[in-house]
Amino acid sequence: MSSNIWTPAALSSNARRLAGICWRFVEAQHNVSTAKLTDSAADQVLLERLIETTKPRVPAECEHLNYLLSTPFRYGAPYPRGSRFRKAGITEGVFYAAEAADTAAAEITFHRLLFFAESPATPWPGNPGEFTAFAAEFASGRSIDLTRKPLAADQALWMHPTDYGASQALAEAARSAAIDIIRYDSVRDPQHRAGIALLTCHVFTKSEVVSRQTWRIHLDSAGARAMCEAPKHTLAFGRNAFAADPRIAGMTWSR
């Protein structure tokens, strides 16, 4: 473990500029679910406003952003499980995304499968899940890249399928060094293309998303398929696609 290159001072000296767009997936059920509970568009708007008041607050610096961009930065409720760059508990938000929509699709597909791996008695869904992929534009002169030297020397730690201790420690040091973005190899993408972790909402250069796609993800005993409507595109993930993770390797596929 080369922890000497994780210090805030060392990370600051390795900071570089990074700009572009990144892709993230969300379930496409939010408007449909409230529509089913109301009799008119006005009632639906009122219900969604009431629901909004029950959620953790959006930091003041993120309030100008589309909710798709600001949601990961909401505070107030304990983060239930630790993730690659965020510890469990009341911790600062991370906007997880990817340079390619296909990489974001692989990430969300993995997490869908993980739910069923941890719920072996749950039957496969009869219909594909519907998702919206959206792109956000970002830029910062304070990013670090775990795919390049010297931080790439610890790639095995950054890409561990289940142990996030090292990457969470890195993220804490990055915040202390005023680092805004962490670029890293996606563990779940079979091609290990780049993931993007935005540590602050200040890096968004536009307050609205810049592109959207509609995707459907179908799960069954053979694996998963992620299908984009436009442009027409399908990704296939067989049973072994995520087998490097022991939780998926032990999946009960026949159910």
**Of the candidates 77, 107, 74, the residue with the CA atom closest to the CA atom of residue 90:** 77
Residue 35 pLDDT more than 70?
Answer: no
145-171 tens-digit pLDDT: 999 999 999 999 999 999 999 999 999
Q: Is residue 42 pLDDT above 90, yes or no? A: no
Q: What is the pLDDT of residue 223?
A: 97
Amino acid letter, 27: E
Half-sphere exposure of 42 (CA within 13 A, CB side): 0
Q: Is the pLDDT of residue 214 over 60?
A: yes
Q: Which is more confident, 78 or 56?
A: 78
Domain spans, the chain: 3-29+95-249
What integer is the mean pLDDT of 19-42? 71
Question: What is the per-residue pLDDT for 43?
Answer: 46
The residue with greater pLDDT, 79 or 57, is 79
Q: Return contacts of 111-116, CB within 8 angstroms, 24+ apart.
A: 112/217, 112/219, 112/224, 113/219, 113/224, 113/237, 113/242, 113/248, 113/251, 114/245, 114/247, 114/248, 116/219, 116/251
CA atoms within 13 A on the CB side of 202: 10
pLDDT digits (tens, 9 = 90+) for 188-205: 999 999 999 999 999 999
| pLDDT top residue among 56 and 235 | 235
This prediction's pTM: 0.90
